[in-house]
Amino acid sequence: MKRKKKALHRNYRFINVHPIAGALGAEIKGVNISRPLKREVVLEIRQAFLDHLVIFFHKQELTPQELLAFSRQFGQPMEYPQLKGLPECPMITEVIKLESEKLNFGGVWHSDTTYLESPPMGSMLYAVKIPPYGGDTLFANQYLAYETLSEGLKKTLGDLVGISTSTKLEVAKTRDNRLSDSGEKLKIMCASHPAVRTHPETGHKALFVNSAHTTHFEGWTMQESQPLLDYLFEHQVRSEFTYRLCWRPGSLAFWDNRCTQHNPVNDYQGFKRIMHRVTLEGDEPS
């Protein structure tokens, strides 16, 4: 299904939606997300999420319990498979980089945990403590990544299945500090997913491989797969497909893991950054 032009001027009755980039992203204003929301407000936020792929709320004050309650209005929270959550709120994962650390957690382009048979529908990230500068997050639109491929490559990818693993070195090493702190060991997990998935709510097609987890194509060797994967990894994060979020204290981002990728920028050495993340259950890609 060919994707229609994004609904930048949809009429919302209960929220204010402000698109912030040509590719994806919108800021939601006029909502206090620390409180239970009326059904009509939740429905409009959900529509903005589907229209813009990643939505943001600023100047919010959320306890872990309030963040979890907000997330439950949009899906079923799930535990992050590699780390334990907060003791008082196990479904909330604390994402930390300390002043002395060189690597940031998940600091490469990726879709969340595609090594699961049913990867997350979406994730929410809330800014608890941010550095005085740096620490932005990049987001990339995977509908556009697919739509701008040649018809020949679309046909080829339509028959391919990508193999994802939790153990690719570039991303696995970004978890080392947190795994060491918690006494946990990296769980070895693997799953296979179509290289192009159809979004279960919008019906649009999105490129669904990522450099953090996809190792090769099913039925292909790694050596055979690498040239095509290298091309796709570079293509799917072209600058015109992206938006860069500058965090503020109390900012919350909610992104659609089925049609976006993200990359936390590691440019704030010597400063501490603390974020709270909740992840929502998804379905098996098709």
Residue 25 zone, left/alpha/beta (φ > 0; ψ -120 to 50; rest): left
β-pair type (137-141, 260-264): antiparallel
Q: Which residues of 173-212 are buried (b: 16+ CB within 10 A; e: fewer)?
A: ebbebbeeeeeeeeeebebebbbbbebeebebbbbbbbbb
Q: Which of 112, 197, 204, 256 is catalytic?
A: 112
β-pair type (122-129, 16-19): unpaired
Rounded-to-integer distance, Cα 104 and Cα 96, Å: 8
Q: Which of 52, 199, 276, 277 is catalytic?
A: 277
Which residues lie closer than 8 Å to 243 by C-beta, 6 or more apart?
20, 21, 23, 24, 25, 54, 138, 139
106, 257 Cβ separation under 8 angstroms: no
137, 145 Cβ separation under 8 angstroms: no
Q: Which of 110, 193, 197, 258 is catalytic?
A: 110
Q: Which of 52, 213, 262, 276 is catalytic?
A: 262
Establish whether 110 is a catalytic residue: yes
Establish whether 112 is a catalytic residue: yes
The helix, strand and coil proportions of the chain, stated in percent and rounded to the nearest 5, come to 25, 25, 50
* Owner of token pair 């004050």: 61
Rounded-to-integer distance, Cα 140 and Cα 24, Å: 8
Active site residues: 110, 112, 262, 277
